[in-house]
Amino acid sequence: MSGSNFWVIGGEFGSMNFHKLVHGSAQVQGPFKTRKEAEDAWRVVSEENRHRGSVRFSVVEEPQRESA
């Protein structure tokens, strides 16, 4: 196991090029200890918003911090 944290991030975008979020629409879920847990959360939030074409979510892995 990598020890990384995983997050589900996203929201509603202002256009279909998915470059800029609509102000106030950002959503962050996590941290999740495994990619599978994050992917399960991603499936739920994506399914809830599947009727909204300008909404997108992604699973991201937080970089590990090195101990000093």
Which two three-digit tokens encode residue 46?
């994506």
Cβ-proximal residues to 54 (8 Å cutoff; 6+ apart), any chain: 12, 13, 14, 15, 16, 22
pLDDT of amino acid 16: 86
Confidence of residue 64 (pLDDT cuts 50, 70, 90): confident
The pTM assigned to this predicted structure is 0.82
Long-range contacts of 39-43 (CB under 8 A, 24+ apart): 41/8, 42/8
pLDDT of amino acid 32: 97
pLDDT in tens, 36-61: 999 999 999 999 999 999 999 999 99
